Amino acid sequence: MTNPTDVAVETRSFEADVAKLLHMMVHSVYSDKDVFLRELISNAADACEKLRYESLSDPTLAGSDSASVTVTLDPDARQIIVEDNGIGMSEAELVEALGTIARSGTKAFMDRIATAREAEGTQLIGQFGVGFYSAFMVADRVDVFSRRAGADQAAHWCSDGLGTYTVQPADTAEAPVRGTRVTLRLKEDASAYTERYRTQQIIKDQSGHVPVPIFLKEKPDAEAEQIADGAALWTKPKSEISEEDYTDFYRSVAGQFDQPALTLHYRAEGLHEYAVLAFIPEVKPFDLFDPDRTGRMKLYVRRVFITDEAEILPRYLRFVRGLVDSSDLPLNVSREMIQQSPVLAAIQKGVSNRVLTELEKLSAKDGDAYIKFWDDFGAVLKEGLYEDYTRREQLLGLSRFKSTVSGEGWRSLKDYADGMKENQTAIYYATGSDLDRLASSPQLEGFRARGIEVLLLTDQVDSFWVTAGVDYDGKPFKSVTQGLADLSLIPPAEGETTPPAASEEVNDFIAFAKDLLKDEVSDVRVSERLTESPVCLVAAEHGMDRQLEKMLAAAGRGGGASAPVLELNPRHSLIAKLSELRDNPALREDAARLLLDEARIADGELPVDPRAFAERLGRIMAKALG
Nearest Cα neighbor of 321 from 382, 256, 275 is: 256
In this prediction, residue 117 has a pLDDT band, given cuts at 50, 70 and 90, of very low
Q: What is the pLDDT of residue 251?
A: 87
Q: For residue 335, say whether it is annotated as part of any ligand binding site.
A: yes
Q: Assign residue 551 the CATH number of its domain.
A: 1.20.120.790
**Who contacts 3 (Cβ-Cβ below 8 Å, separation ≥6)?**
171
* pLDDT at residue 185 in the model: 97
Are 30 and 171 found together in one domain? yes
Instruction: Give per-residue pLDDT as tens, 502-517.
Output: 888 999 999 999 999 9
Q: How far apart are CA 214 and CA 225, in angstroms?
A: 8
In a domain, residue 368? The reply is: no
Does the annotation flag 286 for ligand binding?
no
Domain residue limits at 184: 4-228
SS (H, E, C) 29-59: CCCCCCHHHHHHHHHHHHHHHHHHHHCCCCH
Given this model, what pLDDT does residue 162 score? 81
Q: Read off the pLDDT of each residue in 584-603 and give the average, rounded to a whole number.
A: 93
Tell whether residue 43 is among the known ligand binding residues: yes
Q: Binding residue per annotation — 137?
A: no
Judgement on whether residues 142 and 43 belong to the same structural domain of the protein: yes
127-184 confidence digits (pLDDT tens): 333 568 888 889 999 999 999 999 999 999 999 888 788 999 998 888 899 999 999 9
Domain boundary among 228, 254, 285: 228
Choosing from 203, 228, 253, the residue where a domain stops is 228
In percent, the amount of the chain with pLDDT more than 90 equals 54
Q: Are residues 224 and 242 in the same domain?
A: no
Would you say residue 175 lies in a domain?
Answer: yes
Q: Is the pLDDT of residue 552 over 80?
A: no
* β-pairing verdict for 260-268 and 225-228: unpaired
Is residue 104 within 8 A of residue 292, CB to CB? The reply is yes
Annotated binding-site residue? 39 = yes
For residue 128, what pLDDT is reported? 38
The answer to whether residue 42 scores a pLDDT higher than 90 is no
Q: What is the DSSP string of 210-277?
A: SSS-EEEESSTTSPPEEEE----GGGS-GGG--HHHHHHHHHHHH---S-EEEEEEEEE-SSS-EEEE
Query: Is 469 annotated as a binding-site member?
Result: no
Alpha carbons within 13 angstroms on the beta-carbon side of residue 123 total 11
Largest CA distance in the chain: 105
H helix intervals, 366-466: 367-381, 383-387, 392-398, 413-418, 435-439, 445-449, 462-465
Q: How confident is the model at residue 310 (pLDDT cuts 50, 70, 90)?
A: confident
Per-residue confidence (pLDDT) for residue 486, from 0 to 100? 78
Same domain, 196 and 303: no
**Count of domains in the chain?**
3
130 in a known ligand binding site: yes
Query: Does 588 carry a binding-site annotation?
Result: no
The pTM score is 0.71
In percent, the amount of the chain with pLDDT more than 70 equals 86
How many other CB atoms are found less than 10 A from the CB of residue 63?
14
Q: Is residue 581 part of a domain?
A: yes
Establish whether 180 is an annotated binding residue: yes
CA distance linking residue 256 with residue 404, whole number of Å? 37
Residue 254 has pLDDT above 60, yes or no: yes
The predicted structure's pLDDT at residue 107:
46
User: What is the per-residue pLDDT for 190?
Assistant: 94
Average pLDDT, whole number, for the chain? 86
pLDDT higher than 90, residue 554: no
Stretch (H or E) spanning 304: strand 304-307
What CATH number does the domain containing 245 carry? 3.30.230.80
Better-predicted residue by pLDDT, 213 or 46: 213
Residues 252 and 317 occupy one common structural domain = yes
Per the CB < 8 A criterion, the answer to whether 529 and 480 are in contact is yes
Question: Is 553 a member of any domain?
Answer: yes
Could you tell me if 27 and 120 lie in one domain? yes
Residue 318 domain-assigned (yes or no): yes
Cα separation values, 593 from 470, 481, 590, Å: 37, 21, 5
* Domain-embedded: residue 429: no
603 vs 537: CA distance, rounded Å: 7
Known binder of ligand: residue 545? Answer: no
Residue 587 lies in a domain: yes
pLDDT, position 106: 41
pLDDT digits (tens, 9 = 90+) for 292-302: 777 889 888 87
Looking at the structure, do residues 205 and 266 belong to the same domain, yes or no? Answer: no
Distance set, CA 557 to CA 380, 383, 485, 564 (Å): 22, 19, 28, 19
- Out of 128-132, 194-198, 404-408, 573-577, give the one with best mean pLDDT: 194-198
Q: CB-based burial of residue 26 (10 Å sphere; 0-12 exposed, 13-18 middle, 19+ buried)?
A: middle
Residue 313 pLDDT exceeds 70: yes
Q: Are residues 288 and 205 in the same domain?
A: no
- Where does a domain end: 228, 254, 270? 228
| 386-418 per-position pLDDT tens digit | 999 999 999 999 999 999 998 889 999 999 999
Whether 122 shows a pLDDT value over 60: the answer reads: no
DSSP 3-state of 197: helix
264 in the same domain as 349: yes
Judge if 315 and 345 occupy the same domain.
yes
Residue 377 lies in a domain: no
Please write the tens of the pLDDT for every residue from 43-89: 898 899 889 888 888 888 988 888 999 999 999 999 999 999 999 99
More confident residue, 548 or 431: 431
**Cβ pair 567, 525 in contact under 8 A:** yes
Residue 221 is predicted with a pLDDT of: 93
* pLDDT higher than 90, residue 459: yes
The reply to whether 218 and 283 lie within a common domain is: no
pLDDT class of 279 with cuts at 50, 70, 90:
very high
Q: Which CATH number is 178's domain given?
A: 3.30.565.10
Query: 331 by DSSP, 3-state: which?
Result: coil
Residue-level pLDDT at 569: 93
Neighbours of 615 (CB within 10 A): 12
Annotated binding residue 145: no
**Contact (CB, 8 A) for 561 and 621:** no
Q: How far is CA 61 from CA 86, 304, 430, in A?
A: 10, 15, 60
pLDDT of residue 393: 96
89 is in an annotated binding site: yes
Query: What order do you get walking across the sheet with 10-13 strand by strand?
Result: 10-13, 164-169, 155-159, 139-147, 179-186, 79-84, 69-74, 214-217, 225-228
Phi, psi of 55 (to 5 degrees): -75, -10
**210 and 246, same domain (yes or no):** no
